[in-house]
Structure 1
Amino acid sequence: MKSKRKLLKEIIDVIKISNKSDRLFFPLMIIKSLVTASLPFVAIIYSALILDGFIDALDKTSIMAYVYQMIIISGILLISRTMLTFFCEQKTNLIGLRLNSEISKKTLNLDFEQLESKEIKDKISSANQGVLFTGGIGTFINILGEAIENIISIIYSFTLIIALFISVDLNDPDKITRIFNSPLLGVGLIGLIIISLLLNFKIINNVNKLHHAVFEENIYVNRLFLYLLNSSMDYKLSKDIRLFHIDKLLSSKIKDYSVRTSKSYGYIFNKSGWMNARGGLLNHVVLYTAYTIIGIKALLGIISVGNVLLLVSAVTAFNTAVVQFASNISGAVMQTRYLALYKEYLETNTNMYKGTLPVEKRDDGEYEFEFKNVSFHYPNNDEIILNNVSWKMETGKKLAIVGPNGAGKTTFIKLLCRLYDPTKGEILLNGIDIRKYDYKEYIDLISVVFQDFKLFSSTIKENVMCEQDGEDEKVLEYLEQAGLKERIEKLENGIDSYLYSNFGEQGVEVSGGESQKIAIARALYKDTPLVILDEPTSALDPISEYEIYTKFDALVERKTAIYISHRMSSCRFCDNIIVFDKGEIIQSGNHDELLRSTDGLYYNMWSAQAKHYNT
């Protein structure tokens, strides 16, 4: 009972979601369903009247009156249905687009930590697959519309059947005639169809449960399959695929996942085929029983030829509507299960505490950041990445962070940017825990260029501004300062040129070094009191790196800046350097001070790199 109540609630929730997007939609859909369901019955009733008119030798005027009435009423209903169908389809598409965009909106509002978890990745995948493989809200709406049409058809046909069974003489002396005259026979016939409905509903429900079970079972496999499929079509990966013959590996894995899913779906198609065959056989038995009863009534002279047509049509319509209604209900239930995954994802709560304290707006740029006994390990992983780290960043100073790979440098930056919260300890801004600040106001203080930064297949201008409205002159200024002036001037559309060829042949392909310069221009454009370069120049040659760092040092002026670089020479202009190793700060000082510690890690790293330039 609880599961049924839950299911009913889920169906109502889906209807509410749709209605919230467009409040006119459901009234229009109900009117459309009423019109659509009425159309065949106009033809059925008037056909019976016209047929009886010919048999009873009615005058031509009376018969033609029936014909004209049928044409006029059918015409009005047809025109109305066409217009309503057009409006409903347009609104269904708009509702679908609005609801599908909610997945993107939700993903953008989740914590960064959540996006890296398998649970959330599976939720995103199941929400997308629920829409992709089942038609999403549009299919649910169509099923609901068909269900309303079938309910109206059931009411019409039920009324006709009962009316034809009770509008007879029950006092006929012949016993057989009295039996076939009895309204109870009509009720029994309808009861038989309803029993068939319930059995068919059970069969359809079992089939849909099988489909849903296989769908949930294959969520992870489908996610991998789609990833491999998209990878095989990603032109950015095409060089590696060809040079390293990865195509064979991709093809093999795609084939493997295809076989696995095919076996699962093959099993349910076979099983559901037998189930549906049993349901179809039962349905035909009931239908032919009804036709037999109608035939006997006609032979006994109980009903006219026109009423035979009317009754056969009504029984057929009733049976068809009942079976389709069972399918609609079962389909709506299955669709609701898929959309429940969509709804579940949209209701996913963020874990990170979002403070409300506004960040003080300071013209002097006096924002002091401090790590205080900070330790950290990633979720679902006990390995300590940072261990009891404490460091205060002086306002307006340049800090370099160095250390071997895996020492915790980038994790330090991620915590500073509040992509993660510390496992222990706290990070302070002007003496206050950063968790207490309004999250958006806090991250507006920081510009970062990560080593694994991404550019979008949009215009160069939009990649730098990260918004629709901005200052073109400012974009050009920072692109020039990043060393891209000549490259931009050569482009036909300048900063309005699209990056990459995802959306057209006019897209511009940029080198790794050029893309890093665009990312640096983006960080400068944001104009924040703290600027961080997390190994952004790894794809640049030493000369280009030196030029950018020299310019960058001048550009950031009194701002606080943090640099992470494997090239030790890039650290020389920094006011302070901290050396990470195994998640701890093991050395600090300026370049000259650290070189005097000849047994220190910094000296060893500097000496190792210096050998390459001195030989």
Structure 2
Amino acid sequence: MRKEKEKKILPTLKFMLKTAVKNKPQLFIAYVLQVVVSFSQTMVNIISSKYLVDEIAAIIGGGKAEEHIPTAIFCIALIVGVTLLAALINYLVNEIKNVYSEWFNEYFEVGLSEKVMKMDFEHTEDPDTLDQMNKAKEGISWYSGGVVGILNGFFNIVSNGVNVLGVIAIIAVTCPLLLPIQIISLVLITIFTNKSNKLDIEYFKKLSKINRLFAYFFYQLSDPSNGKEVRLFDSKDMMCDKADYYSNKTIDTFREQYKAQYKYMQYSNLTNGLRDGLSYFYIGFKALTGAITLGDFTMCVSSASTLYWGLYSIVDNIAATVKACGYAYEYLKFDAISDRMTKGDKPVSDGEHVIEFRNVSFKYPRSENYVLRNINITIKQGEHLSVVGLNGAGKTTFIKLLCRMYDVTDGEILIDNINIKDYSDSEYRKLFSVVFQDFELFAFSLKENIILDEQEDEEKLIKTLKMAGLYEDAMKLENKLDTTIFKSYDENGTELSGGQQQKTAICRALYRDSPIVILDEPTAALDPVAEYEIYKHFNELVGGKTAIYISHRLSSCKFCDEIAVFADDTIKEYGTHDELVKIESGIYSEMYNAQAQYYVENVS
């Protein structure tokens, strides 16, 4: 268990210190200044108080006031001056720490986001990875306090350690028996605190998954895009019930945690009471017997209190730092998730590209069932391929494998007779312009949503908009192409219709001008007229590029050179529309005739 802790704590502490030194080294100057101020204030208060009490006692005992008052005034002035100066310095240092705390929170948020964007795609569909991501987000921020939270604990240990050394020297001379009383009490409270902290970690792990679900359902309640479904399907009660359920789960977990930790709180309170009683009896006895002066009594009481709370703070901060590092370690664990996909370094050659699936089979990670089996297909340069099949036949998985979002389980995918694993990842991805069925648009301008990281070319952009049938709609917007999509962050933004959003995604793919275009259900949200226009101009849209087109509407297949029919985890039929439609009892023939009959019946 101890070795397991060390594996978490030491690397995390080292990581935090290294991150702080690398990015904001001036933060350490602030912490060192705070340590010096704390030690100076502690020593001045304890020692000056002794002399102040002794001077006042001397005056009360009949001594000459003029001999003792100057020293008393000096002690008071010193205490007040140091206290005010310490308060000012601590205020400034805390303001600096608050600023850097926000800076580091953003730093880690960006780092986590970059990790998510760059990691293998399969991790983004893995529930375990998503849970770990949530632990990382919470662990590196409000659970641990981030860099500043952990450095606060670390430097509190240093500061209290310095203060403890100072008061130990005082106690050793005046009241040596106070040392074992404080230390024994501290050991007992440390045991109780450690047991309580273990419960904190245990319940943190329990709450991590609950918090992710809790946040999801509460987000859904306030998400305006759910407005239609909530109203038309009267799902308000169901959504609220889900939110209430996970809210209650969270509250119940916190309640259970409090009950488990309550007894250790009471044990600590009892130990503190015994410690104070023994300490005051011992110091009082020495004062009454004349072994120490009244000033010494005051100094011993202050020193004993400083010693105990200093030692307690050291132990408490060690425990808090260990706990905080345990939380922050979740970020390191997430950051350490390694990519499984082999990254090649071969450049992609210019010119024509031939795609070949050779005996490809695939099953998703953590699944025993194959989604695709023995896929063999060659797609030549400039060929337009239609991929059809019922839901769940593996059509989108076929595209994910080609785009190398997953690696094949068996077999290989070749482009120009080279395994795609051998290509440079960034180079390989440039081969494809893809519109998935579940594409995403961002709360950027319409132009930015289309161009993304590509170089801006206004003539090319206008041509693309016209080809996709979006130009006229775009020109009607208040700020035309500079109009922000969605109103989430811009009250002057626009809410595009489903068809307009899909056309925007098609524009994005076409603007990229990659040699291979992939459209996964590109007309799903379009009306019949717009659908017809897309089909009609399909060859013009993709030109002489290689095109792979996934669709449920088989009328689109007439515009393609070849058709691959997916069923039973493989390609069951392959050929042109005219060839496949003639196969009696064929899958494609039955699907096509069923759809054709539907349209004929509606026309009549």
With the length of structure 1 as denominator, give the TM-score of the two structures.
0.90
Return the letter of the residue paired with 1:142: N
Alignment partner of 1:55 out of 54, 57, 60: 57
Contact 1:150 1:321 survives alignment (8 Å): yes
CA distance in 1, matches of 2:529, 2:9: 67
Return the letter of the residue paired with 1:265: F
Contact 1:32 1:85 survives alignment (8 Å): no
- Indicate whether 1:388 and 2:397 are aligned: no
Q: Helix, strand or coil: the match of 1:572?
A: helix
Alignment partner of 1:446 out of 432, 450, 460: 432
Alignment correspondent of 2:101: 92
Q: Evaluate the alpha carbon distance shift between residue 62 and residue 472 of structure 1 in structure 2; reply closer, same or farther with a 3 A threshold.
A: farther
Return the letter of the residue paired with 1:143: G
Cα deviation for residue 473 of structure 1 reads 4.9
Q: Helix, strand or coil: the match of 1:538?
A: coil
Contact 1:140 1:335 survives alignment (8 Å): yes
- Indicate whether 1:481 and 2:470 are aligned: no
Contact 2:171 2:300 survives alignment (8 Å): yes
CA distance in 2, matches of 1:263, 1:61: 62
Cα deviation for residue 472 of structure 1 reads 4.8
Alignment correspondent of 1:412: 398
Q: Helix, strand or coil: the match of 2:478?
A: coil
CA distance in 1, matches of 2:207, 2:14: 27
- Indicate whether 1:195 and 2:195 are aligned: no
Alignment correspondent of 1:161: 171
Alignment correspondent of 2:488: 502
Cα deviation for residue 525 of structure 1 reads 1.6
Listed as ranges, the matches of 1:270-285 within 5 Å are 270-285=259-274
Q: Evaluate the alpha carbon distance shift between residue 315 and residue 472 of structure 1 in structure 2; reply closer, same or farther with a 3 A threshold.
A: farther
Contact 1:356 1:437 survives alignment (8 Å): yes
CA distance in 2, matches of 1:36, 1:496: 56
Contact 2:41 2:86 survives alignment (8 Å): yes
Contact 1:448 1:523 survives alignment (8 Å): yes
Cα deviation for residue 490 of structure 1 reads 2.2
Contact 1:462 1:468 survives alignment (8 Å): no
- 1:48-72 CA-partner distances (Å, limit 9, x unpaired): 3333333333254444444444444
Alignment partner of 1:26 out of 5, 24, 28: 28
Cα deviation for residue 493 of structure 1 reads 2.1
Contact 1:476 1:495 survives alignment (8 Å): no
- 1:569-589 CA-partner distances (Å, limit 9, x unpaired): 222122222222222222222
Contact 2:53 2:295 survives alignment (8 Å): yes
Listed as ranges, the matches of 1:472-551 within 5 Å are 472-551=458-537
For structure 1, which segment, 403-412 or 193-202, has the greater mean C-alpha deviation from structure 2 after superposition?
A: 403-412
Cα deviation for residue 554 of structure 1 reads 1.0
CA distance in 1, matches of 2:9, 2:566: 57
Alignment correspondent of 1:223: 212
Alignment correspondent of 1:146: 156
Q: Helix, strand or coil: the match of 1:302?
A: coil
Cα deviation for residue 558 of structure 1 reads 1.7
Q: Evaluate the alpha carbon distance shift between residue 157 and residue 7 of structure 1 in structure 2; reply closer, same or farther with a 3 A threshold.
A: farther
Q: Helix, strand or coil: the match of 1:221?
A: helix
CA distance in 2, matches of 1:468, 1:592: 40
Contact 2:372 2:570 survives alignment (8 Å): yes
Q: Helix, strand or coil: the match of 1:504?
A: coil
Cα deviation for residue 193 of structure 1 reads 0.7
Cα deviation for residue 196 of structure 1 reads 1.1
Aligned residues: 591
Q: Evaluate the alpha carbon distance shift between residue 257 and residue 74 of structure 1 in structure 2; reply closer, same or farther with a 3 A threshold.
A: closer
- Between the two proteins, what is the percent identity of the paired residues? 35
Contact 1:25 1:88 survives alignment (8 Å): yes
- 1:292-341 CA-partner distances (Å, limit 9, x unpaired): 22222222233333333222222112222222222211111111211122
- 1:113-146 CA-partner distances (Å, limit 9, x unpaired): 1221222122112212324551441432332233
Q: Evaluate the alpha carbon distance shift between residue 472 and residue 150 of structure 1 in structure 2; reply closer, same or farther with a 3 A threshold.
A: farther
Cα deviation for residue 367 of structure 1 reads 1.4
Q: Helix, strand or coil: the match of 2:387?
A: strand
CA distance in 2, matches of 1:7, 1:311: 40
CA distance in 2, matches of 1:319, 1:598: 91
Contact 1:369 1:430 survives alignment (8 Å): yes
With the length of structure 2 as denominator, give the TM-score of the two structures.
0.92
Alignment correspondent of 2:3: 2
Alignment partner of 1:236 out of 225, 230, 234: 225
Q: Helix, strand or coil: the match of 1:187?
A: coil
- 1:423-481 CA-partner distances (Å, limit 9, x unpaired): 11110010000011111110111011011111122222222122396345544442333
- 1:207-230 CA-partner distances (Å, limit 9, x unpaired): 011121122133323222222121
CA distance in 2, matches of 1:219, 1:287: 40
Listed as ranges, the matches of 1:174-193 within 5 Å are 186-193=175-182
5+ unaligned residues in a row in structure 1: which ranges? 166-185
For structure 1, which segment, 95-104 or 420-429, has the greater mean C-alpha deviation from structure 2 after superposition?
A: 95-104
Cα deviation for residue 552 of structure 1 reads 4.0
- 1:210-254 CA-partner distances (Å, limit 9, x unpaired): 121122133323222222121122211122122223222222223
Q: Evaluate the alpha carbon distance shift between residue 609 and residue 271 of structure 1 in structure 2; reply closer, same or farther with a 3 A threshold.
A: closer
Alignment correspondent of 1:299: 288
Q: Evaluate the alpha carbon distance shift between residue 574 and residue 5 of structure 1 in structure 2; reply closer, same or farther with a 3 A threshold.
A: closer
- 1:588-612 CA-partner distances (Å, limit 9, x unpaired): 2222333333443222222212223
CA distance in 1, matches of 2:128, 2:70: 74
Contact 1:22 1:95 survives alignment (8 Å): no
Q: Helix, strand or coil: the match of 2:369?
A: coil
Q: Evaluate the alpha carbon distance shift between residue 36 and residue 85 of structure 1 in structure 2; reply closer, same or farther with a 3 A threshold.
A: farther
Cα deviation for residue 522 of structure 1 reads 0.8
Alignment correspondent of 1:183: none
Q: Evaluate the alpha carbon distance shift between residue 43 and residue 394 of structure 1 in structure 2; reply closer, same or farther with a 3 A threshold.
A: same
For structure 1, which segment, 422-431 or 301-310, has the greater mean C-alpha deviation from structure 2 after superposition?
A: 301-310
Alignment correspondent of 1:359: 348
- 1:520-552 CA-partner distances (Å, limit 9, x unpaired): 011112110101101121111122012123334
Alignment correspondent of 1:600: 586
Contact 2:580 2:588 survives alignment (8 Å): yes
Return the letter of the residue paired with 2:399: I
CA distance in 2, matches of 1:73, 1:461: 61
Q: Evaluate the alpha carbon distance shift between residue 469 and residue 304 of structure 1 in structure 2; reply closer, same or farther with a 3 A threshold.
A: farther
Return the letter of the residue paired with 2:138: Q
CA distance in 1, matches of 2:257, 2:82: 45
